[in-house]
Amino acid sequence: MNPLGVHALVWVGDWSEQSARFAIESTREVGFDLIELALLDPAATDVAMTRRLLADNGLGATASLGLDLDADVSSEDPAVVARGRDRLAAALEVVHGVGGTHLCGVLYSALTKYPQPASALSRQNSAQAMAWLAEQCAAAGVTLALEVVNRYETNIANTAAEMLTFIDQSGTDIAVHLDSYHMNIEENGLVEPVEQCGSRLGYVHIGESHRGYLGTGNVDFGSLFGAVRACGYAGPVTFESFSSAVVHPSLSNALAVWRNLWQDSRDLAAHAHAFMKERLES
């Protein structure tokens, strides 16, 4: 059985001790194995407090983030790229400090809609930054996985095949992070990208087409979970959902979370846990 996780934004929009305690305790009570931390501002994360709460609840952790334009490692401006590397280094320090296992997300560009395709220099700068980050993650014992997202959130790679090509460009052995929400937009189907990644699949996000309750949209989860099992993937499978009921000061706007798709975080999370567990087991 894959470790099952839930994104912290299902529970809370900040990471004060009160919020962190609620999110971590709720994650454990529902039955998940891990919580995925949102590290858009790594400096705002109290590492010691987070590690203590995780240990108290016997819970694992992963972390994700997306860069902003001021710290975009795909920028053609060396100063912006340097700020991006600093942000990624700080995020890795948090992951390692809390005892986390994976660093994933849109780490290779800003999380935004670009007005044009990525230039050769942009791709080169991003690939070099990812090669550097891969070395840092390997030294820290953290798995690095790059998330494939849709065309409105990056111009580097929008399909599994494009991400594999980009990773090859970096010259390093980086894993691919697939997300059903984005796959449902960009891929030909949900089986092919899993098969393309094969042993290079390193992290899986489960999200519905409208980011609400699983099974109420148009994602073909039967095919996806079947492909995940068939390829032998044994890593985390993490539920991700967003609603205006829980607001992060920057990520909610970046992801255009305008609709209130759910109110009750616990009911949503419990439904997701049962949904994923049943399909992975069957």
Residue with structure tokens 């090509």? 165
CA distances from 48 to 52, 56, 96, 245 (A): 6, 12, 11, 28
Closest Cα partner for 107 from 88, 127, 80, 81? 88
Position 252 scores a pLDDT of 74
Residue type, 134: A
Q: What is the mean pLDDT of residues 111-118?
A: 96
- Exposed/middle/buried for 97, CB within 10 Å: 0-12, 13-18, 19+? middle
| Percent of the chain surpassing pLDDT 70 | 100
pTM: 0.95
* Sequence letter at residue 33: D
**For 142-195, how does the pLDDT look when each residue is reduced to its tens digit (9 = 90+)?**
999 999 999 999 999 999 999 999 999 999 999 999 999 999 999 999 999 999
pLDDT (tens digit per residue) in 221-250: 999 999 999 999 999 999 999 887 777 777
User: Mind telling me the catalytic residues?
Assistant: 147, 240
Burial profile 217-227: b = 16 or more Cβ within 10 angstroms, e = fewer: bebebeebbbb
Domains of the chain: 4-281 (3.20.20.150)
β-pair partners for 176: 146, 201
Greater confidence, 248 or 95? 95
Residue 92 has pLDDT above 90, yes or no: yes
pLDDT confidence tier of residue 259, bands split at 50, 70 and 90: confident
Token pair for residue 191?
A: 């089986």
Other beta carbons within 10 angstroms of residue 19's beta carbon come to 14
As a whole number of angstroms, the distance between CA 104 and CA 66 comes to: 9
The secondary structure element, H or E, covering residue 69 is none
Backbone angles phi and psi of 281, in degrees to 5: -75, -30
